[in-house]
Amino acid sequence: MTSTFTVPQVAVSKRRNGATPLTMITAYDEPSARFVDAAGAELLLVGDSVGNVVLGQKDTLGVTVEMMAHHIAAVARANPRGVIVGDLPWMSYHVSVEDSVRNAATLVRAGAHCVKLEGGKNRVEVISAITNAEIPVMGHLGLTPQSVLAMGGFKVQGKTEDAAQQLIDDALAIERAGAFAVVLEGIPDVVAKRITEALTIPTIGIGAGPDTDGQVLVFHDLLGLGNRTPPKFVRVYGQLGQAMTAALSEFVGDVRSGAFPSDAETYHAPKGSNLSE
Ligand code: KIV
């Protein structure tokens, strides 16, 4: 699978060097990938957020490698120009290094151009092994949703000087291990700025303020398709959920009133056939 945007291009996209900010949007199936591609985003993230966003689960912990491969393959069928980032789900890179490399390869064989995993210094060995298997790795620091139980909920991270310094150390560690970019989620803007300045690889923020090298949002959040009030860092660019309900309701009403289907929407028997009316 080829793409117009490549991992090496993303890896050098630092705003301080004059690069345009990167855009990454989640996609979970062929239609969403087509829409994201048409918008021109450089990166499509097949996130494990598929669990809560698409499958109605309460968090991402129920998502498996097989589920991720299924959704990545659907996104890849859209043949987007952007880099397809496949999220390694919880427990797919926590048991052993060998396991992690094999699971990363499963996502690449499904169509991902790289994988994303959560964690800092504790993931150095795994990042280095996956990178050595020629699979590019994107890191993910801050509010890491797979740590929801350990964090005691989805809470903004890095709020003290010590916690901020730990995040900077984590970011430097995963850069040294070979990560080509890192997502910064749910941290104060000043901390995201310090991490972005400290790294040579790009940072992509979500709830991390304006100073990162790029921004990522969840497809359903930015299009108003979610079933909850989105967090404060989301800007809703379209109320497509309302538009969809209006269109669907019109269909239901037309069927009930007999206005659908019309004659033009109906097949007729060929003229002169012996089919009776
Ligand atoms: O799974 C996901 O959608 C993510 C984003 C929140 C960055 O990891």
Within a domain: residue 255?
A: no
What number does the ligand 1 atom closest to the CA of 48 have? 1
Number of the ligand 1 atom closest to the C-alpha atom of 24: 7
Closest CA to 36 of 68, 5, 69: 5
- Kindly state whether residue 44 falls inside one of the protein's structural domains: yes
Which amino acid belongs to residue 155?
Answer: K
Specify the amino acid at residue 11: A
- Cβ-based neighbours of 139, under 8 Å, separated by 6 or more: 116, 117, 118, 119, 120, 123, 127, 171, 174, 175, 179, 181, 182, 183
Q: Whose CA is nearest to atom 1 of ligand 1?
A: 47
- Is there a domain that residue 276 lies in? no
Predicted confidence at residue 2, as pLDDT, reads 55
Q: Cα torsion at 93, 96, 151, 162 (round to 10°)?
A: -100
Residue 216 C-alpha to ligand 1 middle, in angstroms? 8
Distance 170 CA to ligand 1 centre (A): 19
Query: Best of 68, 72, 218, 233 to mutate for ligand 1, by most ligand atoms within 8 A of CB?
Result: 218
157 Cβ below 6 A of ligand 1: no
Q: How many CA atoms lie within 13 A of 11 on its CB side?
A: 11
For position 274, what pLDDT does the model report? 87
Nearest atom of ligand 1 to the alpha carbon of 60: 1
In tens digits, what is the pLDDT along the chain, a chain of 277 residues?
556 999 999 999 999 999 999 999 999 999 999 999 999 999 999 999 999 999 999 999 999 999 999 999 999 999 999 999 999 999 999 999 999 999 999 999 999 999 999 999 999 999 999 999 999 999 999 999 999 999 999 999 999 999 999 999 999 999 999 999 999 999 999 999 999 999 999 999 999 999 999 999 999 999 999 988 899 999 999 999 999 999 999 999 999 999 999 999 999 999 889 886 6
Rounded CA-CA distance 158/164 in Å is 4
Say what the alpha-carbon torsion angle 30, 33, 34, 38 is, to the nearest 10 degrees: 180
Backbone φ, ψ for residue 218 (5° rounding) = -80, 130
Amino acid, single-letter form, for residue 207? G
Burial (CB count <10 Å: 0-12, 13-18, 19+), residue 58: exposed
Q: Are strands 137-142 and 181-185 parallel, antiparallel or unpaired?
A: parallel
Q: Is residue 187 part of a domain?
A: yes
Q: Is 49 in the pocket of ligand 1 (CB under 6 A)?
A: yes
From CA 124, how far away is CA 127, in angstroms rounded? Answer: 5
Position 172 scores a pLDDT of 98
Distance from C-alpha of 176 to C-alpha of 251, rounded to nearest angstrom: 56
- Distance between CA atoms of 117 and 140, rounded to whole angstroms? 6
- Tokens matching residue 53: 């966003």
Question: What pTM did the predictor assign?
Answer: 0.96
| Ligand 1 near 48 CB (within 6 A) | yes
Does 259 fall in a domain?
no
Domain of 51? 7-239
Please indicate whether residue 206, judged by its CB atom, sits closer than 6 Å to ligand 1. Answer: yes
Does any ligand 1 atom lie closer than 6 A to the CB of residue 221?
no
Residue 185 annotated as catalytic: yes
Per the domain annotation, does 266 fall within a domain? no
Degrees to nearest 5, angle at CA 216 with 219 and 20:
125
- Specify the CATH number for the domain of residue 134: 3.20.20.60
User: Does the residue 270 lie in any domain?
Assistant: no
How many structural domains is the chain composed of? 1
Closest Cα to atom 5 of ligand 1: 47
Q: Is 218 in the pocket of ligand 1 (CB under 6 A)?
A: yes
For every residue of 194-205, DSSP letters joined together read HHHHH-SS-EEE
Catalytic: which of 161, 175, 185, 250?
A: 185
Q: Whose Cα sits closest to atom 4 in ligand 1? A: 47
Closest CA to 48 of 36, 37, 38, 62: 62
Q: Is 182 in the pocket of ligand 1 (CB under 6 A)?
A: no
In a domain, 248, yes or no: no
Q: H or E element: which one contains 52?
A: helix 50-53
